[in-house]
Amino acid sequence: MAYRGTAYHGFQIQNNANTIQAVVQQCVGKVLNEPVTIHGCSRTDAGVHANQYCFSVQTNSKIPNIGFIRGVNGELPKDISILSCEDVDPDFHARFSCASKEYLYLIHNSECKNPFTTDLAYHYRRKFRTELVMEAAQHFVGTHDFRTFCTNCAENANTVRTIHSFTVEKDGNTVKMLVKGNGFLYNMVRIMVGTLLDINEGKIPLEQLDAIIASGNRLLAGKTAMPHGLYLNRVFYGGEES
C-alpha cells in the first residue's frame, strides 16, 4: 500500500491515537468478513509517509486478489491506497521476511515555501551544497554500529546495520536523499539526514563524521530531521534488490 501519514500517529496501533494499522486493519477485516491482525514491514513515525509499504495478513477468505484490492480501497480513506496483493507461503511475515528497505527524504530547498508540499517535503531555506552532502553521505555506506543515530536505543540492543547505498540529488528546488539498507534503527534516517544538513551548514565538520559515527554518542550527531519529509520508498523480499 501507499499512504500519506500526515493525519496519523505512525503505523502501529496505539491507545487513543489514529494510526495506519488501526484504520487498515478495520477495513481489511470488514472486506474479509472476519477479525484479522495485519503485520507491517516497518513502524513508521507520526507524519511519515510511504510510497510502498508491505503488510501481511492471514485469512480463511477465498476472495481473489483483485477483489481484495478493490474491496479494501473502497473502504479506506483517501490518504491510504492498496497498490497490489499476492498470495504467499504461510510462514511469510512482512517484517521478518524483509531483506532490505529504501527510504526517501524529500526537501523543498527554496526561500519561499511551496503550498503544495507543506506536509510532503521539508522546507529548507539555506543554500544546499549537493557535492558536499553527497560526499558526507558516503561515510554511512557499509556496515557500522549506528547507535549514534538512534533515539533511545537500549544499551543491550543490536545497533549494527548495513547501508547499501546513499544518494543525494538536487533538481531545481527539490532535493532527494535516497538511502537503502538491511534495516534501520528508531529515527536513524531522520538523524542521518539532520546530520547531513548540519554538515551542509558547517555546524559539523565533514572530517569529524567518521569519529561521530564510531562514538556511539547521540549528542554528537545532528538534529532529527522533520518527519514529513520522510517516505518508506521501497521494501525488498527474497531476490528483489533493485
Question: Which residues are bridge partners to 144 per DSSP?
Answer: 161
User: Which region, left, alpha or beta, applies to residue 241 given φ > 0 means left and ψ of -120 to 50 means alpha?
Assistant: alpha
Distance CA 11, CA 34 (A): 21
Secondary structure letter of residue 112 according to DSSP: S
In terms of Cβ atoms closer than 10 Å to its own Cβ (0-12, 13-18, 19+), residue 182 is middle
Distance CA 62, CA 87 (A): 11
Tell me the per-residue pLDDT of 3-32, one tens digit each, with 9 for 90 and over: 999 999 999 999 889 999 999 999 999 999
Tell me the mean pLDDT in the region 134-144. 98
CB 194, CB 111: distance < 8 Å: no
Which is catalytic among the residues 45, 89, 171, 198? 45
Count CA within 13 A, CB hemisphere, residue 104. Answer: 18
Confidence band, pLDDT 50/70/90 cuts, at residue 240: low
pLDDT value at 154 more than 80: yes
CB 103, CB 49: distance < 8 Å: no
Is residue 45 part of the annotated active site? The answer reads yes
CB 95, CB 39: distance < 8 Å: yes
Q: Coil, strand, or helix at residue 54?
A: coil
pTM confidence score? 0.94
Tell me the per-residue pLDDT of 84-126, one tens digit each, with 9 for 90 and over: 999 999 999 999 999 999 999 999 999 999 999 999 999 999 9
Q: Which three cell numbers stand for residue 69?
A: 484490492
Percentage above 70 pLDDT, the chain = 98
Distance CA 70, CA 225 (A): 36
Supply φ then ψ for residue 195, to 5 degrees. -65, -40
Confidence band, pLDDT 50/70/90 cuts, at residue 239: low
